[in-house]
Amino acid sequence: MTLAIIGGTGLTQISDLDITGQQTLDTPYGKPSADYVFGEMNGKKLIFLARHGNPHRIPPHKINYRANIWGLKQLGVTDIVAVAAVGGIAKQMAPGHLAIPDQIIDYSYGREHTFFADNLEHVNHIDFSEPYSALLRKRIIQAAHNADIMITASGTYGCTQGPRLETIAEIRRMAQDKCDLVGMTGMPEASLARELEINYANLSVVANWGAGIVPGEITMAEIEKNLQVGMSKAIALLQAITLLPDLTLV
């Protein structure tokens, strides 16, 4: 198993990662968001990629998702834990909380969303009934239990276009669609990983309530404050994942 961590808003680097090197890659789909960082955590080797670049400068709809995932495949990655800052819709998804969604609805548009687009010998269709790796999700949930970190172990992630936040009506529609979380980067990241047969799971860090869930406007100050709390829990969970006794990282 070769593990990669993709960091989202609030996680452009991991202070507890002992960095051993980094690599710039060119792919058939252009440049990835940032250099791939190699490091060790609890004696286990892994690869880190800042989804929005480092420093954080690439908005969700401009991320080169295909280059990011292709580069990880080139580096031999078999499993990805994708950390993402999200908004909470369901009542249990309060700011600062962690969730491991098991389903996704894609509301984004205009993104390069597949490797199966050009020069094909035949049309390719992937099974996406279960968009996240069941085994990898199980490992994350077990790690949270071992470390006594409170999580919600399921839920539906709704992926919007961004970079603006959603309207009250849009969040109301997503709630009617049974979305528990709203984010901007969950797709096509998950489906691209599936196309390349990489196990992929999402670690959602709730940064704010979705529009209209509670009174008042959503501010960046509020988001940043909640992310400080949530990301510290996320990093603790990532550490716990590397401590799993049956987890061999190479």
H or E segment and range at residue 71: helix 65-74
Is 12 marked as binding a ligand? Answer: no
Q: Does residue 201 sit within a domain?
A: yes
Mean pLDDT (whole number) for 191-211: 97
Which CATH number belongs to the domain containing residue 151 in this structure? 3.40.50.1580
**pLDDT 10s digits, 29-80:** 999 999 999 999 888 899 999 999 988 899 999 999 999 999 999 999 999 9
115 secondary structure, DSSP code: S
Is 1 marked as binding a ligand? Answer: no
Is 9 marked as binding a ligand? Answer: yes
Tell me what pLDDT residue 139 has: 95
**Nearest CA-CA partner of 218 in 170, 186, 159:** 170
Average pLDDT over all residues of the chain? 92
Domain count, the chain: 1
Amino acid identity of residue 120, one-letter, is L
> Which 3-state string (H, E, C) describes 116-137?
CCCCCCCCCCCCCCCCCCHHHH
**pLDDT 10s digits, 96-151:** 999 999 999 999 999 999 988 777 677 788 899 999 999 999 999 999 999 999 99
Q: Does residue 41 sit within a domain?
A: yes
Is 114 marked as binding a ligand? Answer: no
Q: Does residue 108 sit within a domain?
A: yes
Q: Does residue 21 sit within a domain?
A: yes
- Structural domain for 64, as ranges: 3-117+125-242
Q: Does residue 232 sit within a domain?
A: yes
Q: Does residue 250 sit within a domain?
A: no
Q: Does residue 11 sit within a domain?
A: yes
Residue pair 183/207 in contact (Cβ under 8 Å)? The answer is no
Is 184 marked as binding a ligand? Answer: yes
Task: Look at residue 8 and tell me whether its pLDDT is greater than 50.
Answer: yes
